[in-house]
Structure 1
């Protein structure tokens, strides 16, 4: 079999400036990979590089030719284990670049099998949780308005970004604006241990159901202290990047967050989900602000998760692809009537 692979970098604007504790995103540079088999099948993949993990669109573009040469040399989209090992040998870092290749290969392999990806994996679409919708940092009143808009669009769970000196005001105001919504919060490593412990108590009083990455990832004992004292579940995101991190956080978190841009492949994401089960941890599937090729691929894994945060393409002004529909947060895998991830250009 002969595989032909190519890539380009798309520039995608956000619907509104998207701000977290580390900074603001207005435009996403998104590497897009296409792998075709010569029989009319094409796999489409993508992933969002992030500087937090030492990667940019430029570094992804620099390594993708070597990654795609390795794919073409092996020449079999079903040889996913062999290809994954080879990609890790070619490039040790750049998880988003490798993740984009992984998605394109899985999309192609499922198309060749004539099955949606979740069916190729044997997963139950009825077990996919709803995705939350993220409220980025902004003026407090603007955040409240964004929360009301999301609820009006049918989203019943909101994730609120924190990590400011206005965090308590934000929570009070958003809760008032969306009194019936389930709330989760994400501090993106912004708090000290003492602040996180105090905030956890405050958040529980406001009915917040999940606290994500309250302290820096390089302070594991601080995360343990928050986990041991918090009256609500604690999720490890930046503290849990790859498979070896899963057992390492098992005694300091209730939930792990799996992202393609961290773990570098869909196969690694599945391994992490199963390892979490073995450690008694719940799973959240997360994302960056990114387009449907990567969002849809991760959505096919949703039956393995208790929590889903896959709204990244909903935060774009215009996603050039359609894939897995998420009306009001529902991940409707059963409605995917095309093989592969279901992604196609609009």
Structure 2
């Protein structure tokens, strides 16, 4: 068997500016990897690099040729452990780049066996969590409008970005606009430990489910302080990048929030999930602003999760790839009728 691999860069406008505590994003540039076998079957994967983790579209484009050389040298899409191990030897950083290749290989391997990816892993679709939809920071009135739109669209879970002096007003507004929604909040490292504890009290009164990454990742003791005193559960995101980080956060949070683009591949993501479980943590899978070329793969991990935040493609004005319909927050694995991840070029 032989494999042919290549990639392209795709710039995608967001539906509207997306603001979190540390930045505003109006465009997402993803890199799309394709791996084709002798029969002409093609696997698709996507990289959504995040500057916060030291990656850009340029760095991903720079290392992908080396990674794809590994794929072509091994020449077997089912040799996933071998290929992912060799890719990490070649490029230790740039996890989003390695992840795109991992997704494309998994997509191809499942297509060759004519099964959806979750079935290749021996998983069942009978119990999957709903995905949240994110309300980015904006004027309070605009956040009210976005919340009402999301509620009207049927999203049962809303994740609200916080991290400023209007936090209480924002959450009160969201709660008023969506009284029946499950609400989670994400401060993206913007709070101090004591601020987290104080805000957790009124957040709990407003029926918030949990707080995601309230303090900087560089302050593990602050995370522990907040975790031990918070009125709400704490999820670690920026503090938890790969499976190797989980033992250090196990006594500092309730939930490990993983992302494919942080872990560097689907095999590593499954290891991280298992590691979190072994340390008594609940597990959430999140995402960057990314195309269905990668979001579709993430949905196949849903049977292993407690929480999902896989709305990255829904924030785009137009996604060049079709994938699972997450428009109401439901992850429709049981309806999957496509082999592989389900990502298809439109």
How far does residue 88 in structure 1 lie from its aligned partner after superposition? Answer: 0.4
Q: Does 1:167 align with 2:175?
A: no
Partner residue in 2 for 1:24: 24
Structure 2, unmatched stretches of 5+, are: none
In structure 1, C-alpha distance between the alignment counterparts of 2:293 and 2:151, rounded to whole Å: 26
User: Any residues of structure 2 matched to 1:81-96 within 5 Å, and which?
Assistant: 81-96=81-96
Q: Is the 8 A contact 1:254 1:282 kept in 2?
A: yes
Displacement after TM superposition at 1:266 (Å): 0.5
The answer to whether the 8 Å contact 1:47/1:260 transfers is no
- Aligned length, in residue pairs: 346
CA shift, 1:277, in A, is 1.1
User: Quick check: 1:125–1:333 contact (8 Å CA) kept in 2?
Assistant: yes
Distance (Å, rounded) in 2 between the aligned partners of 1:314 and 1:255:
24
**Corresponding residue for 2:258?**
258
| Deviation at residue 10 of structure 1 after TM alignment | 0.1
Q: Residue 112 of structure 1 aligns with which residue?
A: 112
- Alpha-carbon separation, structure 1, partners of 2:263 and 2:274: 14
Secondary structure of residue in 1 paired with 2:16: strand
For 2:32 and 2:248, how far apart are their aligned partners in 1? 33
> In 1, Cα distance between the equivalents of 2:221 and 2:201?
19
Mapped partners of 2:117, 2:231: distance in 1: 37
**Quick one: distance in 2 between partners of 1:218 and 1:302?**
29
User: Over aligned residues, Cα RMSD in angstroms?
Assistant: 0.7
Give per-residue Cα distances to partners, 1:13-41, cap 9 Å, x unaligned. Answer: 10000010111111101010000002121
Distance in 2 (CA, whole Å) between partners of 1:231 and 1:294 is 35
* Superposition map of 1:213-224 within 5 A: 213-224=213-224
Within 5 Å, give how 1:235-246 maps onto structure 2: 235-246=235-246
- Alignment of structure 1 residues 123-162 onto 2, 5 Å: 123-162=123-162
List aligned pairs for 1:218-237, cutoff 5 A.
218-237=218-237
Correspondence for 2:342? 342
Give the Cα separation in 2 of the matches to 1:47 and 1:203: 34
- 1:74 CA drift (Å): 0.7
| Mapped partners of 1:126, 1:247: distance in 2 | 30
CA deviation profile, 1:52-105 (whole Å, cap 9, x unmatched): 000000000000001101110011111111101110011110010000000000
Alignment partner of 1:150: what SS? helix
TM-score (ref. length: structure 2) = 0.99
Partners in 2 of 1:268 and 1:128 — Cα distance?
A: 20
Matched, 1:311 2:319: no
1:327 positional shift: 3.6
TM superposition shift of 1:181: 0.5
Shift in Å at residue 201 of structure 1? 1.2
Q: Distance in 1 between matches of 2:288 and 2:234?
A: 20
Deviation at 1:47, TM superposition (A): 2.1
In structure 2, how many angstroms separate the alpha carbons of the residues matched to 1:121 and 1:83? Answer: 17
Q: Which runs of 5+ in 1 are unaligned?
A: none
The TM-score, its normalising length taken from structure 1, stands at: 0.99
Contact residue 237 and residue 256 of structure 2 kept, 8 A? yes
Cα distance in 1 for partners of 2:248, 2:303 equals 24
* Contact 2:314/2:327 (<8 A) preserved: no
